[in-house]
């Protein structure tokens, strides 16, 4: 004889199976939107994460400004699409440099090209650098991209760095920048009526300094030797 309670259990089992089936279907439908399926970028079945800055610093070397960047992307350094460096002065863009890692987001062949989008030939392309590891042994090998932007001094009070990956995620950071955007160099002088610094030979600057000091000394001596009460003619 059949168990009268058996029929009451069947709907519960069917409902549970139905709910599990729905959940599985929903997950399968969502996966394509939250994973990266492109070869050579984030990898198949890997959740895309935004890039990060492991190191950002700016230095002045021989009158040239260099921005050193180490960008980390846990989907691989090859997932970084481009990097822009913008220098502004009171919300006015004086220079914009860009590093194009690829020609487009579907490309898997690195382009590794530096270019100046806005500016007055500030960017020094032959001194810009691009470096990554070809190994996969460590996190640094797989994830870190090293860049150096080299350029002549640009007047400005804000330097912004923006990085995009192939999936459209981004990271932004700022570097403290000199108010005038001019490095303190012994051979560079910023004249008030000019927008870019003027470089003088060290001998010229020394001669000017000596001449100024000599003139100031002569004026002081003449004033001290002059009898008190005598008016200058």
Contact 149, 69 (CB under 8 A): yes
Question: Where does the pLDDT of residue 22 fall: very low under 50, low under 70, confident under 90, or very high at 90 and above?
Answer: confident
Q: What is the pLDDT of residues 116-140, one digit of tens each?
A: 999 999 999 999 999 998 888 888 8
Q: What's the N-to-C CA distance of the chain in angstroms?
A: 137
Q: Which residues contact 36 (CB under 8 A, 6 or more apart)?
A: 42, 43, 44, 46, 47, 48, 75, 79, 166, 167
Cα 210 to Cα 128, 187, 214, distances in angstroms? 38, 15, 6
Domain ranges of the chain: 49-175, 186-225
- Residue 37 reports pLDDT greater than 90: no
What is the mean predicted confidence (pLDDT) over 149-173? 95
| 8 compared with 37, residue with greater pLDDT | 8
The Cα–Cα gap between 159 and 100 comes to 19
Task: Give the strands of the sheet with 113-118, arranged side by side.
Answer: 113-118, 92-100, 80-89, 158-165, 170-175
The Cα–Cα gap between 206 and 7 comes to 104
Residue 177 pLDDT = 86
DSSP conformation letters of 189-218: E--TT-SS-EE--HHHHHHHHHHHHHHHHH
Question: Where does the pLDDT of residue 92 fall: very low under 50, low under 70, confident under 90, or very high at 90 and above?
Answer: very high
Among 17-31, 33-47, 82-96, 201-215, top mean pLDDT goes to: 82-96
Task: Using DSSP, state whether 221 is helix, strand or coil.
Answer: helix
Lowest mean pLDDT, pick from 1-5, 51-55, 86-90, 170-174: 1-5
Beta strand residue intervals within 110-183, DSSP E? 113-118, 129-132, 144-151, 158-165, 170-175
Q: How far is CA 212 from the centre of its chain?
A: 43
**What is 49-175's CATH number, 2.40.160, 1.10.3720, 2.60.40, 1.10.760?**
2.60.40
Residue 19 pLDDT = 74
- Residue 168 reports pLDDT greater than 80: yes
Q: What is the pLDDT of residues 174-231, one digit of tens each?
A: 988 874 644 444 444 544 444 444 555 555 555 666 565 666 666 566 666 666 555 5
Residue 36 pLDDT = 43
Calculate what percentage of the chain has a pLDDT beyond 90: 47
Burial class (CB in 10 A: 0-12, 13-18, 19+), 102: buried
Q: Is 168 left (phi over 0), alpha (psi -120 to 50) or beta?
A: left
Average pLDDT, the chain: 77
The Cα–Cα gap between 71 and 84 comes to 12
Question: Where does the pLDDT of residue 161 fall: very low under 50, low under 70, confident under 90, or very high at 90 and above?
Answer: very high
């Amino acid at each position: 004889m059949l168990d009268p309670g058996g029929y009451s259990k069947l709907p519960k089992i069917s409902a549970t199976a139905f709910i599990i089936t729905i959940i599985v279907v929903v997950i399968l439908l969502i996966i394509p939107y939250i994973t990266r399926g492109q070869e050579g970028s984030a990898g198949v079945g890997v959740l895309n994460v935004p890039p990060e800055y492991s190191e950002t610093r700016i230095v002045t070397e021989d009158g040239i400004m260099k921005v050193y960047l180490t960008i980390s992307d846990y989907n691989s350094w090859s997932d970084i699409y481009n990097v822009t460096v913008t220098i502004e002065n009171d919300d006015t863009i004086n220079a914009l440099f860009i590093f194009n890692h690829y020609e487009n987001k579907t490309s898997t062949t690195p382009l590794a090209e530096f270019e100046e989008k806005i500016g007055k030939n500030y960017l020094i392309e032959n001194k810009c650098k691009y470096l990554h590891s070809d190994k996969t042994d460590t996190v640094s090998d797989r994830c870190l991209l090293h860049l150096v932007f080299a350029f002549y001094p640009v007047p400005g009070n804000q330097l912004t760095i923006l990085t995009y990956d192939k999936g459209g995620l981004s990271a932004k950071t700022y570097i403290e920048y000199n108010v005038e955007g001019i490095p303190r160099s012994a051979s560079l002088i910023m004249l008030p009526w000019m927008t870019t610094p003027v470089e003088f030979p060290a001998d010229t600057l020394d001669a000017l300094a000596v001449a100024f000091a000599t003139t100031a000394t002569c004026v002081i001596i003449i004033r001290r030797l002059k009898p008190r009460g005598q008016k200058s003619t």
